[in-house]
Amino acid sequence: MSLANGRTYLAIPGPSVVPDAVLRAMHRASPNIYEGELPDMMPGLTADLKRVACTDGHVAIYISNGHGAWEAALANTVGIGEKVLVLSTGHFAQSWSRIAEARGLEVDVLEFGNGGPIDPSRVEDALRADSTHAYKAVLAVHVDTSSSNRNKFAPLRQILDDLGHPALLLADCIASMGCDRFEMDAWGVDVALTGSQKGLMCPPGLGFVFFNDKAAEARRRLKHVSMYWDWTNRSEPEAFYQYFSGTAPTHHLYGLRTALDMIHAEGMEAIWARHATLAQAIWAAVEHWGQGGPLRLNISDRAHRSHAVTALSIGKPHGTALRRWCADQAGVTLGIGLGMGTADDPKSDGYFRFGHMGHVNAHMILGLLGVVEAGLAALDIPHRAAGVAEAAKVISGV
Ligand X SMILES: *Cc1c(COP(=O)(O)O)cnc(C)c1O
66 binds ligand X (CB under 6 A): yes
367 binds ligand X (CB under 6 A): no
335 binds ligand X (CB under 6 A): no
- Shortest Cβ distance from residue 55 to ligand X (Å)? 18
- Shortest Cβ distance from residue 13 to ligand X (Å)? 6
Site string for ligand X, 178-217 (x = CB under 6 A): -----------------x--------x-------------
- Near ligand X by CB under 6 A, which window of 23-31, 62-70, 131-139, 280-288? 62-70
HEC per residue, 128-193: HHCCCCCEEEEEEECEECCCCEECCCHHHHHHHHHHCCCCEEEEECCCCCCCCCCCCCCCCCCEEE
65 binds ligand X (CB under 6 A): yes
The residue from 57, 150, 167, 172 that contacts ligand X (CB under 6 A) is 172
Site string for ligand X, 90-129 (x = CB under 6 A): --x-------------------------------------
Instruction: Report how far residue 137's alpha carbon sits from residue 125's, in angstroms, rounded to the nearest whole number.
Output: 16
The residue from 21, 33, 45, 67 that contacts ligand X (CB under 6 A) is 67
Compute CA 90 distance to the chain's CA centroid, rounded to the nearest angstrom. Answer: 13
- Shortest Cβ distance from residue 6 to ligand X (Å)? 27
| Number of residues located near ligand X, criterion CB under 6 A | 13
Is it true that the peptide bond before 13 is cis, omega within 30 degrees of 0? no
Instruction: Report how far residue 150's alpha carbon sits from residue 333's, in angstroms, rounded to the nearest whole number.
Output: 23
Residue with Cβ nearer ligand X (97 or 212): 97
The residue from 9, 12, 14, 114 that contacts ligand X (CB under 6 A) is 14
Instruction: Report how far residue 336's alpha carbon sits from residue 381's, in angstroms, rounded to the nearest whole number.
Output: 18
For ligand X, the nearest residue by Cβ is 66
- Shortest Cβ distance from residue 213 to ligand X (Å)? 25
Residue with Cβ nearer ligand X (66 or 79): 66
- Near ligand X by CB under 6 A, which window of 76-84, 171-179, 332-340, 371-379? 171-179
320 binds ligand X (CB under 6 A): no
Query: Is residue 90 exposed (0-12), middle (13-18) or buried (19+ Cβ within 10 Å)?
Result: buried
- Shortest Cβ distance from residue 131 to ligand X (Å)? 31
Residue with Cβ nearer ligand X (46 or 65): 65
Query: Is residue 129 exposed (0-12), middle (13-18) or buried (19+ Cβ within 10 Å)?
Result: exposed
Residue with Cβ nearer ligand X (145 or 212): 145
Residue with Cβ nearer ligand X (73 or 175): 175
- Shortest Cβ distance from residue 195 to ligand X (Å)? 5
Query: Is residue 353 exposed (0-12), middle (13-18) or buried (19+ Cβ within 10 Å)?
Result: buried
Residue with Cβ nearer ligand X (195 or 350): 195
- The residues near 346 (Cβ < 8 Å, ≥ 6 apart) are none
- Shortest Cβ distance from residue 173 to ligand X (Å)? 8
Amino acid occupying residue 193: L
Provide the greatest CA pair distance for the chain. 67
Residue with Cβ nearer ligand X (309 or 388): 309
235 binds ligand X (CB under 6 A): no
Q: Minimal CA–CA distance to 29: which of 254, 243, 260, 262?
A: 254
162-196 burial: b if 16+ Cβ within 10 Å, else e: eeebebbbbbbbbbbbbbbbbebeebbbbbbbbbb
The number of beta carbons lying within 10 Å of the beta carbon of residue 96 is 29
Query: Looking at the DSSP assignment, which residues form a beta bridge with residue 140?
Result: 87, 171
Strands 83-88 vs 135-141: parallel, antiparallel or unpaired: parallel
Instruction: Report how far residue 12's alpha carbon sits from residue 67's, in angstroms, rounded to the nearest whole number.
Output: 18
145 binds ligand X (CB under 6 A): yes
175 binds ligand X (CB under 6 A): yes
Residue with Cβ nearer ligand X (141 or 282): 141
* Strand residues in 29-118 grouped as ranges (E): 58-63, 83-88, 106-111
- Near ligand X by CB under 6 A, which window of 29-37, 118-126, 140-148, 365-373? 140-148
**Kind and range of the H or E run holding 9:** strand 9-11
Contact positions vs ligand X (CB under 6 A): 14, 65-67, 92, 141, 144-145, 172, 174-175, 195, 204
